[in-house]
Amino acid sequence: MLRTLTAKALGLAVVLALPLPAAADVLVETSLDLLPELDRGTLTTQSEEPTSAHPTAPPKRNTAGYDWFIPRFLVNRRQTGDTTLLAIRAPGSVMPCDGSICAFNVEVLYYDVRNVRQHVDHFNLSGHQVQTINVRDVPGLAVDPDGFARGMIRVVTNLPMNVDYFQVDTSQNLATGGEALEVSDLCETWAARFLTFGPGQGTVLSIFVREPRGGAPSDPPTVVGLVYNETGTFINSFTVRTDDWAFDVPVEDVVVGGTQFGTIELTLFDERDDAGSPYSGGLVTVSHAAENRFSIGSRAYCTD
């Protein structure tokens, strides 16, 4: 049995998906059957017994970097409060440009959800300085018919710096956010918990995919999802076809049968897959909201 519906794209997302009006259509198809394994073969994983009782320490996170990515901004141009804020912090060892060495040490690039550049800012930061940016104040950003500006942000520095951001939604007294992301964070397979409490009250998946495969019904899927409840029972599968690099998928649109809690396993496909790019796949974050009173944002788990 195949059911076709439309989940509305909110633009970018990764961590900051809030149940707000939509801009463009993302084609979502759900099925009560398991989907066949696709070409890359990443829908199944294997595990091995650990060779040591003491696991290897994972790579450090939250360290300064040169190239940061905010996979989603969202600004309501019809209201004054709903916006995205980002902060760029320089460590104490940073020396500002003096004209002879460089003209600037920070470049901030803004893109729409189709990866079209909208605006660029340059500035200098010296040691311990923080530059806070309200995306509402950035000129030249395209606004969708529903009054929202949506897109992605890249921050490039010539010395290691830290970047974080958060989304505020004053209409619901909500805020979510976290650290910015790096290209090395891209994965092909993800697992995300979900919850649903009725229309607009539950989990929203915020997905970023480099070079999506297209939004026509004849195009191959950009996202394949498998839904399981908390007992591990398979519920249904779904696919997403889109031209947007970043988009939101409300869980209520892809989970059938009234299942309230469980896990969604996601596989992301992009046009780079056949080229052997080391940075294929994308990013998945989730936000959970209930009763318009609270929202919790977090990243899904990479399972590559």
Its domain, for residue 160, covers 65-175
Q: Which of 140, 175, 210 is at the close of a domain?
A: 175
Q: Average pLDDT of 97-107? A: 76
149 plus 246 within the same structural domain:
no
Residue pLDDT, tens place only, 136-180: 999 999 999 989 999 999 999 888 888 988 888 776 667 777 778
Which CATH number is 124's domain given? 2.60.290.11
Banded pLDDT at 47 (limits 50, 70, 90): very low
Of 26-30, 60-64, 65-69, 70-74, least confident by mean pLDDT is 60-64
Q: Which of these three, 133, 152, 175, is where a domain ends? A: 175
Closest CA to 227 of 257, 198, 197: 257
79 found inside a domain: yes
Where is average pLDDT lowest: 24-33, 85-94, 260-269? 24-33
Residues 198, 296 within the same domain: yes
Does residue 295 share a domain with residue 189?
yes
Is the confidence at residue 13, as pLDDT, over 90? no
Tell me how many domains the chain contains: 2
pTM for the model stands at 0.75
More confident residue, 144 or 97: 144
Judge if 169 and 189 occupy the same domain: no
What per-residue confidence (pLDDT) applies to 122?
A: 92
Which of 175, 195, 221 corresponds to the end of one domain?
A: 175
42 part of a folded domain: no
- The chain-wide mean pLDDT, for the chain, equals 78
